C-alpha cells in the first residue's frame, strides 16, 4: 500500500525542484472500501483552490475499466493527470498549511495509489 511518499522519495523529488519545466503528475488511485471515494471527492473539492493558487490544473481525470493489457483484476479505480508549472510549484502546494488541513481526506480515501512525475507535453490531437 502506497498512500504517501517515503522520506527518501520526498527528498529525491525535492532535489529536482530546480528543473524549470512543467511536471505532469500521473495519479493512479484505488479507493478504500466503503466511503473511500466520498473522502477522496471531498479532498479533490477542497484541494482545487490550492491547485489553482500554484498555477496547476487537472488535465484529465476518469474512472478505470479492466486492463486491456495487464492483470485480469482491475487494479485502479481512477486516474488523473495534473499539470503543475514546475516541481517547485507542486511542493509549494503540498507544503502549504491550508493544503495540509485537507490532505487527511486524501489519505482516508485511498487504499493504494501511485503518483508518478512525468515530463514533456502530453500528446494533443
Cβ contact 102:8 at 8 Å: no
Domain presence at residue 3: no
CATH of residue 34's domain is 3.30.70.100
Overall domain count for the chain: 1
At residue 45, the pLDDT reads 96
| Whole-number average pLDDT of the chain | 94
Structural domain range at position 54: 20-118
At residue 73, the pLDDT reads 86
* Pairwise CA distance, residues 30 & 77, whole Å: 5
Whole-number CA gyration radius for the chain: 15
Domain presence at residue 125: no
| Nearest partner of 79 among 105, 55, 58, judged by Cα | 58
Domain presence at residue 15: no
Domain presence at residue 6: no
Domain presence at residue 11: no
The secondary element (H helix, E strand) that includes residue 36 is: helix 36-53
For 78-99, what is the mean pLDDT? 97
Q: All 3 cell numbers of residue 103?
A: 490532505
Domain presence at residue 85: yes
Whether residue 123 is predicted with pLDDT greater than 80 in this model: the reply is no
The pTM assigned to this predicted structure is: 0.90
User: What is the maximum alpha-carbon separation in the chain?
Assistant: 41
Amino acid at each position: 500500500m502506497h498512500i504517501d511518499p517515503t522520506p527518501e522519495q520526498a527528498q529525491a523529488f525535492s532535489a529536482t525542484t530546480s528543473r524549470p519545466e512543467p511536471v505532469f503528475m500521473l495519479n493512479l488511485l484505488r479507493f478504500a472500501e466503503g466511503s473511500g471515494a466520498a473522502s477522496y471527492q471531498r479532498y479533490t473539492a477542497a484541494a482545487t483552490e490550492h491547485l489553482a493558487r500554484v498555477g496547476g490544473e487537472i488535465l484529465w481525470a476518469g474512472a478505470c475499466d479492466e486492463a486491456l493489457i495487464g492483470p485480469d483484476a482491475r487494479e485502479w479505480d481512477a486516474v488523473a493527470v495534473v499539470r503543475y508549472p514546475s516541481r517547485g510549484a507542486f511542493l509549494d502546494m503540498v507544503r502549504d498549511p491550508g493544503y495540509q488541513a485537507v490532505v487527511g481526506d486524501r489519505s482516508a480515501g485511498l487504499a493504494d495509489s501511485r503518483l508518478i512525475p512525468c515530463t514533456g507535453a502530453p500528446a494533443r490531437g
